[in-house]
Amino acid sequence: MLNRRFHTPGTAPATLVAPTGAMVAPPTITLIEYDADSFTERHISNVDELLACHNNGKVSWVNIDGLGDVAALQRIGQHFGLHPLALEDVLNTGQRPKVEEYTDHFFIVSQMLWCEDGRSVSYEQVSMFLKADVLITIQEEPLQDVFEPVRARLRAGRGFARSRGHDYLAYALLDAVADHYFPVLERVGETIESMEERLLQKPGPELINELHALKRTLLQMRRCAWPERDVLSTLARDVTGLIHEETRVFIRDCYDHVVQIMDVIESYRDMTTGMMELYLSSVSTRTNEIMRVLTVVSATFIPLTFLAGIYGMNFEYMPELKQPHGYFVLLGIMGTLFLSMVAFFRSKRWI
Amino acid sequence: MLNRRFHTPGTAPATLVAPTGAMVAPPTITLIEYDADSFTERHISNVDELLACHNNGKVSWVNIDGLGDVAALQRIGQHFGLHPLALEDVLNTGQRPKVEEYTDHFFIVSQMLWCEDGRSVSYEQVSMFLKADVLITIQEEPLQDVFEPVRARLRAGRGFARSRGHDYLAYALLDAVADHYFPVLERVGETIESMEERLLQKPGPELINELHALKRTLLQMRRCAWPERDVLSTLARDVTGLIHEETRVFIRDCYDHVVQIMDVIESYRDMTTGMMELYLSSVSTRTNEIMRVLTVVSATFIPLTFLAGIYGMNFEYMPELKQPHGYFVLLGIMGTLFLSMVAFFRSKRWI
Amino acid sequence: MLNRRFHTPGTAPATLVAPTGAMVAPPTITLIEYDADSFTERHISNVDELLACHNNGKVSWVNIDGLGDVAALQRIGQHFGLHPLALEDVLNTGQRPKVEEYTDHFFIVSQMLWCEDGRSVSYEQVSMFLKADVLITIQEEPLQDVFEPVRARLRAGRGFARSRGHDYLAYALLDAVADHYFPVLERVGETIESMEERLLQKPGPELINELHALKRTLLQMRRCAWPERDVLSTLARDVTGLIHEETRVFIRDCYDHVVQIMDVIESYRDMTTGMMELYLSSVSTRTNEIMRVLTVVSATFIPLTFLAGIYGMNFEYMPELKQPHGYFVLLGIMGTLFLSMVAFFRSKRWI
Amino acid sequence: MLNRRFHTPGTAPATLVAPTGAMVAPPTITLIEYDADSFTERHISNVDELLACHNNGKVSWVNIDGLGDVAALQRIGQHFGLHPLALEDVLNTGQRPKVEEYTDHFFIVSQMLWCEDGRSVSYEQVSMFLKADVLITIQEEPLQDVFEPVRARLRAGRGFARSRGHDYLAYALLDAVADHYFPVLERVGETIESMEERLLQKPGPELINELHALKRTLLQMRRCAWPERDVLSTLARDVTGLIHEETRVFIRDCYDHVVQIMDVIESYRDMTTGMMELYLSSVSTRTNEIMRVLTVVSATFIPLTFLAGIYGMNFEYMPELKQPHGYFVLLGIMGTLFLSMVAFFRSKRWI
Amino acid sequence: MLNRRFHTPGTAPATLVAPTGAMVAPPTITLIEYDADSFTERHISNVDELLACHNNGKVSWVNIDGLGDVAALQRIGQHFGLHPLALEDVLNTGQRPKVEEYTDHFFIVSQMLWCEDGRSVSYEQVSMFLKADVLITIQEEPLQDVFEPVRARLRAGRGFARSRGHDYLAYALLDAVADHYFPVLERVGETIESMEERLLQKPGPELINELHALKRTLLQMRRCAWPERDVLSTLARDVTGLIHEETRVFIRDCYDHVVQIMDVIESYRDMTTGMMELYLSSVSTRTNEIMRVLTVVSATFIPLTFLAGIYGMNFEYMPELKQPHGYFVLLGIMGTLFLSMVAFFRSKRWI
């Protein structure tokens, strides 16, 4: 339900265990190296090949897809000097976004999100290790990927990307993750708009179930976006020197986007709360209206029916029945009663 | 619904794209230059003419209306050394108000608002670049404008305006934006007052829909005013030297106005919440009252009708029917029953 | 409704305009001068006379009542070197309480309040300018005045007042303003108590309207008291030297009073919220009880009436009608049905 | 209602007035002096005797019960150099707990509480003056006293008390005050538990009134405990030297108790809120259930009664009445109708 | 109810009293000593034996189970120089998690929790004393134990544990406590999921009681987890030197787990709130639906029954009864009335 794989109690800290659903297959590794003049992109078939690569002064980005092969990740971790606790968090997917500062690298966790059917949202954890000479990104599954636009920009040499370092690349990827909130928010916004319309026209209980589901979706999005904000503000205030001064203005811009995302999520939450209130008040109002009809009809006709019942009795001696005008007198009484009831209800504004 | 144009994921940072609804037309550019003694106002037909203007030691204010011509904006940006990320925010209208400090200029985003029909509120983004030798303001559309009173004061040479620098001009424009909240708040206040009156007199479901719409309007206004506060307090605490000491007291005054605006918005929000509560409790109360009438009438007459029904049966042998006083005895019983029901309901204060 | 006169957009900063309701009459000016040994109180007929007064080393307090004569205020402002923005706030009554530090004076705004009918609360703005050699107070109307006890103490030479400076006088006046909350709170407290009693005895819809009005009154009081707290804490932490060390302990005491006022207001707000809840739950409970009576009576008698209706039909061949004991058998059946219904409802604890 | 005696506006600061209910009798004064080896306890008949006592290097604790004799308090205040504003707060009982630092002494206000009937809570103000050579405590009434256990420990020489200074004694008394919250909380907890049980079994409107009273009691306790926390944290961070280093660890421990008290109070508040919700939802549920019975019975029998009414009419020409099997055909139709209604309601899960 | 044993007022600070339910039996003591090369584990039969042990340069961990024998604890406390206030907190179980810094040791309180039936949660207090040369842990009962996995790791020499000092051991134990939240949260999550399903299918009042119980459980868990966070952040920022630099990264990791726990608890709380809302709105909706059926049936048939009642009266002179087609005309009228009622209700979307 919560897409969270809980930590198993009793395991030693920094124990690496593959997440339950992960395919036991070697990860898909891509190595991209570039500087202002050159760009190479290699698919690397096994870990040994990766470890054999030498740093050649270029910006190098290792992207790893798939968490099933723990041993491979462990070797990569040892080779690049990644902290074992960080690697544990890579495998315990469903983490809150966070940034950890280790002796010579940053460890950054983010959550990408997708909205396939305009209703429920899926999450995938992206882990990043930012070192002075390499950027390593690790994703859960090879299928989904938000980094393609960044790769395309690098290939094409457009924008600032090629002329900057690892820190700018990390920013570009975090920005790509943050930007993926916008289409999701857009779809959620459309859903809210259509629900609001239905709420004003024909509110029904199934709407409330949808509203409930929507609130949970927003709750989850908020749980992801809120700590993302802290991640970016920590990076923008970096004192380690891994993030260059000129990159920080970009990170602050990305931070601004996340603030805007939070802002929209909060508005959506306020709106769903307002819709719930609106629903409840409209149900109360309609119940009131229904009761009014029932009361007006019942309270008018029940006494009249009683009168009719009286004169439907079969007593041998009921003088009124013998009166030649008894029937019409009674009808007159009934009419008067009816009209005075109507007047009473009108005075109360019930009809 | 939210008047927000979301950022498209996958675009490079600082990519300039015109907002979707914008007219593809060259922007309307006005250049105002003044000092204590002189004032000139020129309408500039194209960008080249603007770029050819030389700084002549006066305060110069470039106002640009219309976001459709991206290339023109890009040239202006390059000429004046505006940061590309800031230009991107100029075009991504619907930003939260904010201030960004770049190496030699402030970038300020605000939202002007209008209330044309006393109900829904419209927004227009105003972006400002405050440099030591020029102030550039960029608006979405040429139609609406809140700066006219400032221009009029400059032309007339009234107030402090002509004798002060770019920072005072920026303040005067921000103050004009903030002051535009007041008439909107006044109209919203009138709407609230009239709704409250209707609520106390004849509450109906359409009132709730209006209340819901009002809450959303207030939510949006709050989303605009809240960050405006931060903008002004950042400017008032400026350390770059772009804002002079004597201007800060004016900015603090404007900050005070925004605090007051927030205060009124919060009060309005509390009031709408109170009205919603009032509505719900009044519906409950009326339902209760309606039920009471129904119950009193039904519970009184249904047993009597049953008695009448008994003696309306056609059994051949029903001894009571033969009694000469049977009818009157029954009427007496019915009357007693009726009166005791009335007494019971009165004891419960239902009638 | 909100007693707020909004700022008119488009006016230059520091433009002085008399508030809409103010009488266009010269202000009533009183000059009080005292030191430990002497006390003089003069009513000053026009502004020139005031400006002609020389500082004679005593504590001098200028009290001005009435905001209708803008020109007079402007001259006074120029004479004493008051900041034009501060003068604008004097005239824009309905300000939040605040303190502004200008180069050589403090500008303090407070709101006095009255509760004439134990229900609605009226506000009057008091503005103070605290300089090293004079204290100027400006009130909206000459009619109401909370400063009389302070004057009386000064005349009588009681307390510390005569032996202290302008700062102590300012404190004494702010304390008089804060103390005026207490009787208002006391009356509001009595209103709450009596409403609570009525709520427990005979809750009705008019009570809810009163409760709603009360909540608004508390909201307004809170809006005034909350910033008053900030005013006093700013003065208590003063670094300009205008407030002497020995006066600060008094200001802290006054701050304590305002904290206590806020505390009581918050309690009252919690109580009104609790009363609203209590009302709603009591309405629900009573509706439930009413429904129970209706249901018990209807569900018992409607089936019996149906049975009576069956044997009131006029079919030619209805064998039961011919049975000599048919009537009594039916009565027996009806009695059994009735008793089992009663038993059923008793088992459900509905009767 | 709020047990608060409000400050009278117009009185000079530091005016001493006895609280309204106080007996006009000389206060009961007790002087306790001790060091590690000795302990003396004297009842002092009048103020002169107290003022004649000389400091003999021991820890001396003056306890004063009764606020009726203002002149006596004033003399004591002058003798010991207590600040007049502090003395005013001693007499204005119903203060928020607070600590004030004067030049050579701390002034501490606390509220003791009792719960006599397990429902409502009573408060008594305790004021303390902590000087380097004396501790003065002033209580409202001689009857109640929470300090007896401390005295007993001092007499017996148990614990650390006799070997420490005035600051430890002040701590011990504050700790005694804080500890008195626990039995009150225990009783409130029992009340909550029993109310919860009744709520699950037989919820009634009187329960809601009790719940409302309980919420108010908790509100008051919270208003007392919350500032007590600040008092203790201020003392624990003392920089004046009046509180010794080794006493601070005890004060922090007492602070911890108050945090725990706040924690329990907050839990109780959450529980009462939850109970209110539970009550409202159970009333809604029961109303729903009652309505279901009413609807099932009415909607089943009303159409059948109508059919019986049709054939109870006395038209001369009604062909069905003549049919030999008319009655049984109608009974069959009625049975079918009845069963289909039952099936309908069962399909809706109403029976 | 709250599992809290309150402090008895009147006892001296640092008075040691066994908790009420504790067995009066000597505690079970285990001494584990290890370094990178060796590991010994001894069960110690009485306190004297423990006190006779000498520090041999290894990491030594004393685990004590059972709080019934106060004298033994007191002797241990004196031997190891533990602060009496800390020992008092060991015995006053039900403390909030906290860390206290004493001159040469940390005192840490945590709460372990279990969820045996997937519904209610049990707590046990664990107290730790972290000194430079020993770690002492004290548990309430010998039965439950979360430390076994840590012991197993130490025995096996796996992980970092054997090569690190007392601070790492303390971390490992705190981590074991924190990790025990996860299975409890998992079970609570399953309960929530199944309740949500039942809520959407067949909501009933017993669900609300369960929901209420669940909210209380979450409230308690939150009360335990929240201060645990502060404990860990205090330890991670330690300045005493008891916590080594390399251990802090592990403590920060544990802190992260607790933040994640809080995050999940908050989500669960939001969900239960949402479910309560959902329940209330679904009850309102169903009441509305029931009322609609009742109203449609009653309002349709009551007037028709009245008409039938009219012509069931026995007046001697009722002209309509003699009409040959009277019956069919009336049936026609009734049919028309019926259809127009149906049309009316359809127009209102009630059927």
**pLDDT tens-digit map of D223-241:** 899 999 999 999 998 888 8
Task: Check CB contact under 8 Å for E159 and A13.
Answer: yes
Q: Which of E10, E96, E290 sits opposite D149 (nearest CB)?
A: E10
Whether pLDDT at D162 is above 50: yes
Q: What is the pLDDT of residue E9?
A: 73
Helix (H, G, I), strand (E, B) or coil at A190: helix
Scan residues 89-108 of B and list those with Cβ closer than 8 Å to A. 89, 95-96, 98, 100, 102
Task: Check CB contact under 8 Å for A6 and E186.
Answer: yes
Whether pLDDT at E2 is above 60: no
Query: Is A197's Cβ below 8 Å from some Cβ in B?
Result: no
Our CA-based measurement puts residue D300 at a distance from the nearest CA of chain C, in whole angstroms, of 9
Q: What is the pLDDT of residue A5?
A: 55
Query: Is D176's Cβ below 8 Å from some Cβ in E?
Result: yes
Cα E206 to Cα A182, B339, D271, E202, E231: the distances in Å are 42, 41, 18, 11, 38
Q: Which residue of E has its CA nearest to D199?
A: E209
Residues of chain C contacting residue B280, judged by C-beta atoms under 8 Å apart: 280
pLDDT band at D1 (very low <50, low <70, confident <90, very high): very low
Our CA-based measurement puts residue B39 at a distance from the nearest CA of chain A, in whole angstroms, of 37
Our CA-based measurement puts residue D217 at a distance from the nearest CA of chain C, in whole angstroms, of 11
Touching subunits for chain D (3+ Cβ pairs under 8 A): C, E
Q: Exposed e or buried b for every residue in E21-47, given b needs 16+ CB within 10 A?
A: ebeeeebebbbbbbeeeebeeeebeeb
Please give the distance of CA D236 from its chain centroid, rounded to a whole number. 26
Place of tokens 């919270």: D222
Residues of chain D contacting residue E208, judged by C-beta atoms under 8 Å apart: 278, 281-282, 285
Q: What is the pLDDT of residue C66?
A: 87
Q: Which residue of A has its CA nearest to B287?
A: A288
Task: Check CB contact under 8 Å for B257 and C7.
Answer: yes
Burial class (CB in 10 A: 0-12, 13-18, 19+), C322: exposed
Q: What is the pLDDT of residue A341?
A: 93
Q: What is the pLDDT of residue C6?
A: 62
Q: What is the pLDDT of residue B258?
A: 92
pLDDT band at D2 (very low <50, low <70, confident <90, very high): very low
In the predicted model, what is the mean pLDDT of residues A134-150? 84
Q: How far apart are CA E106 and CA E132, in angstroms?
A: 10
Residues of chain E contacting residue A293, judged by C-beta atoms under 8 Å apart: 295, 299
User: Taking CB atoms and an 8 Å cut-off, how many pairs form between chains D and E?
Assistant: 162
pLDDT tens digits, residue range D255-304? 998 998 998 899 899 999 999 988 988 889 889 999 999 999 999 999 99
Residues of chain D contacting residue E14, judged by C-beta atoms under 8 Å apart: 159-160
Q: Which of A7, A287, A324 sits opposite E288 (nearest CB)?
A: A287
pLDDT tens digits, residue range C152-210? 888 887 667 788 889 999 999 999 999 888 888 888 888 898 998 888 887 777 888 88
Burial class (CB in 10 A: 0-12, 13-18, 19+), B211: buried
Provide the token pair at B96. 């939260």
Query: Is B183's Cβ below 8 Å from some Cβ in C?
Result: yes
Mean pLDDT by 10 residues, chain B (351 residues): 57 79 82 89 88 84 90 91 90 87 91 78 90 91 79 80 88 91 88 88 82 89 91 90 89 91 91 90 90 93 93 89 90 95 91 81
Q: Which of C148, C182, C288 sits opposite D286 (nearest CB)?
A: C288
Query: Is E303's Cβ below 8 Å from some Cβ in D?
Result: no
- Strand blocks (E) in chain A: 28-34, 39-44, 59-65, 98-101, 105-114, 122-131, 135-139
Residues of chain D contacting residue C322, judged by C-beta atoms under 8 Å apart: none
Q: Which of E253, E281, E302 sits opposite A13 (nearest CB)?
A: E253
Q: What is the pLDDT of residue D187?
A: 87
Task: Check CB contact under 8 Å for A223 and E267.
Answer: yes
Task: Check CB contact under 8 Å for C326 and B315.
Answer: yes
Task: Check CB contact under 8 Å for E274 and A215.
Answer: yes
pLDDT tens digits, residue range A173-198? 999 999 888 888 888 888 898 898 88
Our CA-based measurement puts residue C195 at a distance from the nearest CA of chain B, in whole angstroms, of 16
Q: What is the pLDDT of residue D152?
A: 87
Query: Is B206's Cβ below 8 Å from some Cβ in C?
Result: no
Our CA-based measurement puts residue E275 at a distance from the nearest CA of chain D, in whole angstroms, of 12
Task: Check CB contact under 8 Å for D324 and C317.
Answer: yes
Q: How far apart are CA A212 and CA E200, in angstroms?
A: 11
The most confident of the ranges A122-126, C78-82, D198-202 is C78-82
Task: Check CB contact under 8 Å for E298 and A298.
Answer: yes
Q: Which residue of E has its CA nearest to A294?
A: E295
Query: Is B320's Cβ below 8 Å from some Cβ in C?
Result: no
Task: Check CB contact under 8 Å for C278 and D208.
Answer: yes
Query: Is B317's Cβ below 8 Å from some Cβ in C?
Result: yes
Structural contact between residues A12 and E159, judged by C-beta atoms closer than 8 angstroms: yes
Percent of chain D at pLDDT exceeding 90 = 40
- Which site among E102, E212, E298 would you substitute to test the D interface, given the most D Cβ atoms closer than 10 Å to its Cβ? E212
Query: Is E180's Cβ below 8 Å from some Cβ in A?
Result: yes
Closest to D137 in 3D by CA, of D33, D29, D34: D29
Question: How high is the ipTM of this complex?
Answer: 0.83
Whether pLDDT at E345 is above 80: yes
pLDDT band at A3 (very low <50, low <70, confident <90, very high): very low
The most confident of the ranges C3-17, E86-100, E300-314 is E300-314
Whether pLDDT at E342 is above 90: yes
Q: Which amino acid is at E134?
A: V
Touching subunits for chain A (3+ Cβ pairs under 8 A): B, E
What H or E segment, with its residue span, contains residue C126? strand C122-130
Q: Which residue of C has its CA nearest to B197?
A: C209
Residues of chain A contacting residue B208, judged by C-beta atoms under 8 Å apart: 278, 281-282, 285
Closest to B153 in 3D by CA, of B125, B135, B182, B176: B176
In the predicted model, what is the mean pLDDT of residues E11-24? 78
The region, left, alpha or beta by phi > 0 then psi within -120 to 50, assigned to residue E14 is left
Task: Check CB contact under 8 Å for A321 and E302.
Answer: no
Q: What is the pLDDT of residue E3?
A: 43
In the predicted model, what is the mean pLDDT of residues D204-211? 85
Q: What is the pLDDT of residue A57?
A: 83
Q: What is the pLDDT of residue B159?
A: 64
- Which site among B163, B181, B314, B349 would you substitute to test the C interface, given the most C Cβ atoms closer than 10 Å to its Cβ? B314
Q: What is the mean pLDDT of chain A?
A: 87
In the predicted model, what is the mean pLDDT of residues D190-217? 86
Q: What is the pLDDT of residue A51?
A: 86
Scan residues 226-245 of D and list those with Cβ closer than 8 Å to E. none
D288-D294-D299 Cα angle (round to 5) = 120
Our CA-based measurement puts residue B339 at a distance from the nearest CA of chain C, in whole angstroms, of 16
User: Taking CB atoms and an 8 Å cut-off, how many pairs form between chains A and B?
Assistant: 164
Helical H segments across E202-312, by residue range: 205-236, 245-310
Q: Which of E249, E253, E274 sits opposite A216 (nearest CB)?
A: E274
Q: What is the pLDDT of residue A158?
A: 66
What H or E segment, with its residue span, contains residue B70? helix B70-80
- Which site among A113, A288, A293, A340 would you substitute to test the B interface, given the most B Cβ atoms closer than 10 Å to its Cβ? A288
Structural contact between residues C14 and C89, judged by C-beta atoms closer than 8 angstroms: no
Whether pLDDT at A110 is above 80: yes
In the predicted model, what is the mean pLDDT of residues A235-239? 88
Dihedral (CA of B265, B270, B276, B279) sign: negative
In the structure, how many helices (H) and strands (E) does chain C have?
10, 7
Q: What is the pLDDT of residue B5?
A: 55
Greater pLDDT, E156 or C305: C305
Q: What is the pLDDT of residue C220?
A: 87
Q: What is the pLDDT of residue A1?
A: 38
Our CA-based measurement puts residue B342 at a distance from the nearest CA of chain C, in whole angstroms, of 13
pLDDT tens digits, residue range D169-189? 999 999 999 988 888 888 888
Our CA-based measurement puts residue E75 at a distance from the nearest CA of chain D, in whole angstroms, of 17
Cα D277 to Cα A205, B275, D273, D280, E215: the distances in Å are 21, 21, 6, 5, 12
C266-C268-C274 Cα angle (round to 5) = 105
Q: How far apart are CA E184 and CA C198, in angstroms?
A: 48
Whether pLDDT at E5 is above 60: no
Query: Is D213's Cβ below 8 Å from some Cβ in C?
Result: no
